Structure 1
Amino acid sequence: MKILFGMGLFFLLCSCAMMSHKTEKINGVSFVASRDTINNVHIKPILHIHANYAAIMPFGFIRELSHPEIVFNTERQWFGERKVGVKQYTESLKQHHVKVMVKPQIWVGRGAFTGGIKMTSEADWKVLEDSYTGFILTYAELAQELHVEIFCIGTELEGFIDNRPEYWKQLIVDIKKVYKGKLTYAANWNEYDRTPFWEYLDYIGIDAYFPVSDEKTPTVEACRNGWLNYKPDIKAFSETYKKPILFTEFGYRSVDFAGKEPWKSDRDMNVVNMEAQTNTMQVLFEEFWNEDWFAGGFLWKWFHNHKDAGGENDSRFTPQNKPVEDLVKAQYAN
């Protein structure tokens, strides 16, 4: 009898141990910086969809793709784009048990793609490196002070990384001196497989704007077939590096051809199509959220003033006040 009791207790403890090691998915939103502080009114809609993480995104600005100096944390920026905003947003979210990824981003003049940043001289590369180091370490130190769970070291900077890989490896060393949490980098969907420093980070971060369908209103079947072009490679990549995949950004616009070039934010794409957004999002959830090698992701994007965001006439990325918001809520509740 004692032996049976002992064996039963052993298996019960083993079962509990296995359950305790099951990793909670990162069900995140990309929380857009605003002019204002945030409070419970702004956080309640995040809790309503069962999000457990928010990406806070301070900004640095570069005049043009070949300009080496980053301007950041100035009084001319919106509150949420500066240190004071990151601190207030993070502390407010954490009061509601929402975890945080701090994700500093660069904005290039006229909205030019950050992946094209490239200097024309060695001297300018050095200036850019020093400037970027100052930008990133400022927020890495703040992330440590605020006990932030994840820090993202950059977003879609493939040209900078391709040309200066050794700088980036040293930058990671420098970040780890001041920040002790988990690290990732937000690689563009067609960049991640050549990013040279995943072995030094905790998550393989991908901004998941993979083209999955050319249809005007992508069907679920078409999107699922579209993911066959990418999902096996993503899984294999995770296995090669023994690192989980994190979608540092994911989402689709509520617009015709939402799955064709999902990264596009062109204003002339304005024919609202809620079904296109819902179908593409449904398949992404179904294909990835149950995979052990997938850590979760951050929905692009979420505005603080929920009641005025999105809606039936909005063709942009946000799911707010659209049919897809219910889909997100149901997925995150799981």
Structure 2
Amino acid sequence: MKKIKFLIWVLILQSCSGQIKKVNGVSFVASRERINQNHVSPIVNLNANYAAIMPFGFLKEVNSPNIIFNTQRQWYGETEQGAKQYIKELKKQKIKIMLKPQIWVWRGAFTGLIKMNNENDWKTLETSYLEFILKYAKLAQELKVDIFCIGTELETFINNRPAYWKNLIKEVRNVYKGKLTYAANWDEYTRTPFWAYLDFIGIDAYFPISENKTPSVEDCLEGWQTHFFEIKENHEKFNKPVLFTEFGYRSVDYTAKEPWKSDRSMNQVNLKAQANATKALFEIFWKQEWFAGGFVWKWFHNHERAGGIDNTRFTPQNKPAQAVISNQFNMDY
């Protein structure tokens, strides 16, 4: 019975086709330095057509109200000047852009837990975040960026201040005329209250899909079933295309069990697990006409030194998963 259900599921996937051109993107990691054509050419060679540029703002704690951003103490690529230079260099080689300003809490605390202790601090955070986002929304408009992301994995902030976020969207639309999204965590997107006001349902797609050490493509396809239909249902509810604002897997054992984990104790290299999980995601979603595409997490500018067969991190660079991605990005439906 399980095999029959799986075969029916595969037939459902195969019957779906539609939108010809997807967002075939990479999440381009900010560095200390300027980039040039040599840093962009590997993205072109990957057959990618988009890159997410990610300037950063910083909070000292999850209850700190003041966002520190665009300072000389930051890496070049994390600043307004750096983001501008990266975008211009990428656009020279016909790579489209999603500008995705993000918050980082020192010591890596999860941004979804950002919550203020009192009303005054909430007001301070709201003012600070508006300044942060509008700075980059104006840059997005200046450089004619294709997609702008208004935030990443900020569920508690949104839950506590829903009216603020709807007003934020209005403020952004006053200065930026392109497409808008928000990057909701995989376990957050069904509760995000403002999809109706955006152009894409954005999901950081770290869904758990297999508990196997080296999941096969078939394992991962089966593990996607419940998530797939929930995502499709959310698309139908709002009649908005779905965009994976981040997706990817580490090249480690059990990579598909809890894909969001970046725990350095997970140190057993497993290139096949990463490649299989990536291939399954493509097989399911890239065939759907309601699915807009997505951005691989993550891609470093120094391609010749990034990743490699001994690397356990998310990047697919110089690993078998890179070929899986390149082949998919080269397809049209």
Q: TM-score, normalised by structure 2?
A: 0.93
Residue of structure 1 in register with 2:274 after alignment: 277
Residue of structure 2 in register with 1:236 after alignment: 233
CA distance in 2, matches of 1:256, 1:64: 32
Listed one character per residue, the Cα deviations across residues 90-131 of structure 1 (whole Å, up to 9, x for unaligned) are 001111110000000000011000000000100000000000
Residue of structure 2 in register with 1:254 after alignment: 251
CA distance in 1, matches of 2:20, 2:239: 15
Q: Point out which structure has higher relative CO (alpha carbons under 8 A, 6+ apart).
A: 2
CA distance in 2, matches of 1:145, 1:116: 32
CA distance in 2, matches of 1:87, 1:123: 33
2:49 paired with 1:52:
yes
CA distance in 2, matches of 1:220, 1:52: 25
Q: How many matched pairs?
A: 314
Please show how residues 71-220 of structure 1 align to structure 2 within 5 Å.
71-220=68-217
- Structure 1, unaligned runs of 5 or more: 1-20
Displacement of 1:221: 1.6
Identity %: 63
2:19–2:289 CA contact under 8 A, matched in 1: no
Q: In the alignment, which of 19, 39, 42 is matched to residue 39 of structure 2?
A: 42
Matching residue's letter, 1:205: G
2:264 paired with 1:267:
yes
Q: In the alignment, which of 31, 41, 49 is matched to residue 28 of structure 2?
A: 31
Matching residue's letter, 2:167: Q
Matching residue's letter, 2:209: V
Instruction: State the secondary structure of the residue aligned to 1:172.
Output: helix
2:207 paired with 1:222:
no
Listed one character per residue, the Cα deviations across residues 169-195 of structure 1 (whole Å, up to 9, x for unaligned) are 000000000000000000000000000
Residues 22 and 323 of structure 1: is their aligned pair in 2 closer, same or farther, counting only changes over 3 Å? closer
Displacement of 1:296: 0.0
Displacement of 1:73: 0.1
Larger radius of gyration: 1
Instruction: State the secondary structure of the residue aligned to 1:296.
Output: strand
Listed one character per residue, the Cα deviations across residues 268-307 of structure 1 (whole Å, up to 9, x for unaligned) are 1111000110110010000000100000000000000000
Instruction: State the secondary structure of the residue aligned to 1:173.
Output: helix
CA distance in 2, matches of 1:262, 1:79: 29
Residue of structure 1 in register with 2:12 after alignment: none
Residue of structure 2 in register with 1:245 after alignment: 242
Listed one character per residue, the Cα deviations across residues 33-92 of structure 1 (whole Å, up to 9, x for unaligned) are 000111110000000010000000000000000010000000000000000011100001
Matching residue's letter, 2:170: V
Runs of at least 4 residues off by over 3 Å: none
Instruction: State the secondary structure of the residue aligned to 2:298.
Output: strand
CA distance in 1, matches of 2:325, 2:227: 22
Instruction: State the secondary structure of the residue aligned to 1:286.
Output: helix
CA distance in 2, matches of 1:243, 1:274: 34
Listed one character per residue, the Cα deviations across residues 296-323 of structure 1 (whole Å, up to 9, x for unaligned) are 0000000000000000100000000001
Matching residue's letter, 1:197: F
2:287 paired with 1:302:
no
Instruction: State the secondary structure of the residue aligned to 1:230.
Output: helix
Root-mean-square deviation (Å): 0.8
CA distance in 2, matches of 1:43, 1:67: 36
Matching residue's letter, 1:168: W
Displacement of 1:22: 4.7
Residues 190 and 22 of structure 1: is their aligned pair in 2 closer, same or farther, counting only changes over 3 Å? closer
- Structure 2, unaligned runs of 5 or more: 1-17
Please show how residues 302-321 of structure 1 align to structure 2 within 5 Å.
302-321=299-318
Displacement of 1:23: 4.8
Matching residue's letter, 1:235: K
Q: TM-score, normalised by structure 1?
A: 0.93
2:30–2:54 CA contact under 8 A, matched in 1: yes
